[in-house]
Amino acid sequence: MILLGLAGIATLFLLAQALRETVFDSAARWCGAASLGIFVLHPFFQGATRLALARLTSSHAALPNVLVPTLAAVIFPGLLWHYRRVLRIGFLFTFPWGAPKRSPAAKARQQPAIAGPAATD
């Protein structure tokens, strides 16, 4: 079993090397960059697509009912992630507690711990 596991890992490394600089490589990098957005938003898009398919078609075929919602659940959240600054929806992907906010008055009251060298003429 250990040898089969190592052979599988080696095969995956060789497959990744063979797919380098192809369309599959670009798609994997695009999905990897948007993985947080896909993780957060995929249930909404997958559910909406399944509901739309159920209402628009009467087919119970497994392939379209699995493939189409899966593609929609990856592509649409990925697009939202990559265009979050343009669409001004970056707040959807940040934690609500974030970094502490400082007011300008609080910044003015803070004194540097170590003063730099004084400018001399």
Q: Which helix (H) or strand (E) holds 2?
A: helix 2-18
Using DSSP's 3-state secondary structure scheme, residue 121 falls into coil
Model-level pTM?
0.65
Q: Is 121 within a domain?
A: no
Q: What is the pLDDT of residue 111?
A: 58
Q: Is 117 within a domain?
A: no
| Poorest-pLDDT segment among 68-82, 88-102, 105-119 | 105-119
Token pair for 23: 């369309």
Q: What is the pLDDT of residue 96?
A: 73
- Tell me the CA end-to-end span of the chain in Å, nearest whole number: 76
Question: Where in the sequence is the domain holding 34, given as residue range(s)?
Answer: 22-93
Q: Is 60 within a domain?
A: yes
Could you report the per-residue pLDDT of 4-23, keeping only the tens digit for each? 999 999 999 999 899 899 99
Q: Is 7 within a domain?
A: no
